[in-house]
């Protein structure tokens, strides 16, 4: 017994000798990471989300040190999200980078009451079933146009057509909304938003400044031309009856704040905001869903079987989309793994401290006016919320397992008072286009998956696009 006791003591001593140096190295590196200038540390990490991920790995579900913005924390605790559901204020400083594009008084930073009043005044343009039904035939036509172009390209090659899928998905998400040169508009828009986003976090290349200014001017001129064209159409034809889109509502109705017609500057700002949202959410959502499916041929075949069994080759109706359960699960899971949204932000009350009870029971006290960031990719990849979060598993959204999904752990459209008003319309568009692609093609990656790099451009994009091979199914 004495010998065993001695062996235990010796083992503990040896373990301590081995672990103490490792701990000292860890502590030194942790102190070094926290003492680095946040902007420099962000550059070294390779972007905002990798840097925030590093902070959370060191600090836990609440990261309060080392962020590049003052009086800011990053949070992946759903208890805080639940407590801030009704909070609709956003930090102006965090969205200052879009001021050059949208103006200093823009929808992104409207205070909570003003944002709610505006959403109420234009809400008819988005979620109502009549509006979506009115848009559905046009969405189908746009999808079929791209399908036919891809089919033609696939027929000209024995091994299918290789498509720069990000470019085409982004063009597809904008087609039909504008009468402008989409290729040039996309180049200009990507340069502007990417440059402004990088500038906010100190990643900006000053040599690109003139190009960005020229691109900004191009975007502004084209959006204003689009608005002018629509105003002339309405003057000639009178007020529209039935379902009206956002631009028509803003041209025909009054600003709820003033009771007067919306100003030209406000119409430009709002239309640019929603053009950004539709361009990114739908187009990028389609891209990343195809990326997931291209790596999982068995899931792709299962989805094709569901579509073929229901539709037998015909075009879908809006009602069909709601009945395709596995399609819905595939899209939701792809949006979890590759959320277009990078973060959600809330500004806490500026006149009083805020106190929250965390999921583990701890108390979190925050100063008045604290900005709380909810990094969407980290919430979506947390093992506290999802089993095997790195795995593409559409069945986690099935009717049999849906109760496993915890509230406020799926945030691609935000949450609470500032959730995206066009979520329903965006999901319809994404599911429709994916359905048409799966009906007509088998999809493969044309490059190894490990060569695909993510790029933060206000949303999560692919750095150098994702070439995909489309092979006609010949049904």
280: Cβ–Cβ under 8 A, 6 or more apart, which residues?
Answer: 173, 340, 458, 459
DSSP conformational letter for 406: P
* 420 annotated as a binding-site residue: yes
Percentages helix, strand, coil for the chain (3-state, rounded to 5) are: 60, 10, 30
Nearest to 438 by CA among 252, 241, 296: 296
Q: How many CA atoms lie within 13 A of 372 on its CB side?
A: 30
**What would the 3-class secondary structure string for 169-219 be?**
HHHHHHECCECCCHHHHHHHHHHHHHHHHHHHCCCCCHHHHHHHHHHHHHH
CA geometry: angle at 267 spanning 420 and 459, to 5°? 35
DSSP conformational letter for 349: P
Q: Which three-class secondary structure state does DSSP give residue 467?
A: strand
DSSP conformational letter for 66: S
For 13-124, strand residue ranges (E) read 62-63, 72-75
DSSP conformational letter for 69: S
Task: List, as residue ranges, the binding site.
Answer: 420
Task: List, as residue ranges, the binding site for heme.
Answer: 420
């Amino acid at each position: 017994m004495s010998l065993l006791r001695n062996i235990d003591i010796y083992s503990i001593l040896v373990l301590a000798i081995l672990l103490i140096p490792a701990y000292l190295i860890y502590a030194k590196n942790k102190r070094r990471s926290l003492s680095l200038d946040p902007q420099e540390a962000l550059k070294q990490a390779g972007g905002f989300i990798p840097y925030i991920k590093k902070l959370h790995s060191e600090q836990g579900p609440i990261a309060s040190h080392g962020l590049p913005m003052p009086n800011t924390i990053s949070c992946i605790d759903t208890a805080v999200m639940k407590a801030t559901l009704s909070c609709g204020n956003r930090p102006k400083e965090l969205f200052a980078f879009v001021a050059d594009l949208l103006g200093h008084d823009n929808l992104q930073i409207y205070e909570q009451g003003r944002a709610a009043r505006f959403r109420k005044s234009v809400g008819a343009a988005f979620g109502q079933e009549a509006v979506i039904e009115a848009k559905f035939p046009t969405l189908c036509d746009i999808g079929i146009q791209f399908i036919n172009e891809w089919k033609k390209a696939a027929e000209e090659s024995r091994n299918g057509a290789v498509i720069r899928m990000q470019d085409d998905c982004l063009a597809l998400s904008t087609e039909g909304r504008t009468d402008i040169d989409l290729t040039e508009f996309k180049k200009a828009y990507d340069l502007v938003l990417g440059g402004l986003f990088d500038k906010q976090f100190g990643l900006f290349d000053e040599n690109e400044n003139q190009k960005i200014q020229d691109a900004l001017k191009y975007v502004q001129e084209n959006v204003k031309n689009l608005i002018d064209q629509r105003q002339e159409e309405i003057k000639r034809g009178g007020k529209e009856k039935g379902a009206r889109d956002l631009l028509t509502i803003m041209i025909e109705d009054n600003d709820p704040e003033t009771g007067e017609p919306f100003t030209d500057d406000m119409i430009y700002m709002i239309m640019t905001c929603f053009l950004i949202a539709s361009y990114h959410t739908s187009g990028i959502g389609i891209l990343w869903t195809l990326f997931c499916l291209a790596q999982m041929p068995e899931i792709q075949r299962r989805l094709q079987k569901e579509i073929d069994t229901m539709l037998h080759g015909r075009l879908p109706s809006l009602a069909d989309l709601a009945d395709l359960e596995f399609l819905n699960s595939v899209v939701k899971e792809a949006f979890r793994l590759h959320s277009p949204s990078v973060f959600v932000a809330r500004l806490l009350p500026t006149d009083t401290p805020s106190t929250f009870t965390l999921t583990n029971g701890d108390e979190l006290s925050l100063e008045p006016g604290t900005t709380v960031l909810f990094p969407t990719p980290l919430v979506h990849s947390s093992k506290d919320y999802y089993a095997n979060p790195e795995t593409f598993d559409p069945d986690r959204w099935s009717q049999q397992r849906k109760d496993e999904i915890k509230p406020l752990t799926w945030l691609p459209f935000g949450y609470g008072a500032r959730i995206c008003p066009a979520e329903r319309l965006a999901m319809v568009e994404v599911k429709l286009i994916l359905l048409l692609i799966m009906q007509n093609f088998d999809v493969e990656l044309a490059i190894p998956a490990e060569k695909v790099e993510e790029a933060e451009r206000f949303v999560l994009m692919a750095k150098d696009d994702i070439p995909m091979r489309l092979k006609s199914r010949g049904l």
